[in-house]
Amino acid sequence: MTQPAVLVEDKSTGFLRELGLLDSTMIVAGSMIGSGIFIVSADIARQVGSAGGLILTWVITGLLTITAALSYGELAAMMPTAGGQYVYLREAYSPLWGFLYGWTLFLVIQSGTIAAVAVGFARYLGVLVPWISPTNWIVRPFNLSSGYALSLSTQQLVGVLMISLLTFINTRGLKLGKMIQNVFTSAKTLSLLLLIVLGVLVGRNAEVIALNFAAPFTPRDPATITPDFSFLPAVSAASGFFGLIVAFSVAQVGSLFSADAWNNITFTAGEVKEPRRNIPLSLALGTGLVMTLYILASVAYCSVLPLAAIQHAPDDRVATAALQAIFGDIGAAIMAVAIVISTFGCNNGLILAGARVVYAMARDGLFFRATGALNDRHVPGKALLIQGVWTALLVLPRTRLRDATGNPILDPASGMATYGNLYSDLLNYVIFAALAFYVLTIAGIVVLRRKRPHAERPYRAIGYPVIPVLYIAAATLIMLVLIAYRTQTTWPGLLIMVIGVPVYLLWRRLGGARPDDPAFTSQVP
Residue 342 lies in a domain: yes
Q: What is the reported pLDDT for 516?
A: 45
Residue 13 lies in a domain: no
**Can you list the alpha helix ranges (DSSP code H) found in 172-202?**
174-197
Whether 341 and 324 have beta carbons less than 8 Å apart is answered as no
Residue 134 lies in a domain: yes
- DSSP 3-state percent helix, strand, coil across the chain (nearest 5): 65, 5, 25
Which residues, given as ranges, of the chain have pLDDT below 50?
Answer: 1-6, 514-522
Q: What is the reported pLDDT for 9?
A: 62
Quick: pLDDT tens for 178-216. Answer: 999 999 999 999 999 999 999 999 999 999 999 999 999
Residue 151 lies in a domain: yes
- Quote the DSSP letter at residue 410: B
* Nearest CA among 262, 319, 301, 291 for reference residue 60: 291
Q: What is the reported pLDDT for 433?
A: 85
Residue 2 lies in a domain: no
pTM: 0.92
| Residue range(s) defining the domain that contains residue 487 | 25-520
Residue 4 lies in a domain: no
Q: What is the reported pLDDT for 437?
A: 95
Residue 371 lies in a domain: yes
Q: What is the reported pLDDT for 431?
A: 78
Q: What is the reported pLDDT for 1?
A: 45
Residue 438 lies in a domain: yes
Q: What is the reported pLDDT for 520?
A: 47
Q: What is the reported pLDDT for 405?
A: 74
Torsion of CA 18, 21, 25, 27, to 10 degrees: 10
Quick: pLDDT tens for 425-476. Answer: 776 777 788 899 999 999 999 999 999 999 999 999 999 999 999 999 999 9
Cα–Cα distances in Å, from 519 out to 376, 378, 384, 467? 23, 20, 21, 33
Q: What is the reported pLDDT for 2?
A: 43
Q: What is the reported pLDDT for 3?
A: 45
Looking up residue 45, the CATH number of its domain turns out to be 1.20.1740.10
Q: What is the reported pLDDT for 255?
A: 93
Q: How many domains does the chain have?
A: 1
